[in-house]
Amino acid sequence: MGFFYKKQKKVVIPPVWEITPACLSLIFECAKSSYPNEFGGFLRVDVANKYRIIELELLPGTISGDSSAIFHLHMLPIDFSVVGTVHSHPRGPPLPSGADLDLFDKFGRVHIISAAPYSESTWKAYDFRGNEIHISVLE
């Protein structure tokens, strides 16, 4: 009689994302200064900790409008510490639109949306599929 092996399911543990208070504060200030237009930028992680967001990168040539921020991705330098995007929603909740979901699917692993009035209670984070994820704010 032969042996039967039960195929085990692979368990995927999602990463534990973190963000520095200074980076989150800069996101809020950039969003406030762009109001009533959308603000957009890129998230950069610490090289030693690939899940700790430490910097915001602003891309030259980004066009901010009242309902969108248009990136010229060809202007983004090749930099493997850039892991996703951030943008604001001047009107409405921090929920991804169809255009946001298209961008999430094409670029990056983590995305932040900050909604007016741009505070600790009005932002959310998403993975590349548009699923809400948790990002811990470091102390």
Look up tokens 């604001």; give the residue: 88
- Which residue in the list 38, 57, 120, 132 is annotated as catalytic? 38
Q: Are 53 and 41 in contact (CB under 8 A)?
A: no
Burial 2-31 (b: 16+ CB within 10 A, else e): eeeeeeeeeeeeeeebbbbeebbebbbebb
Question: Is 38 a catalytic site residue?
Answer: yes
Task: Give the residue numbers marked as catalytic.
Answer: 38
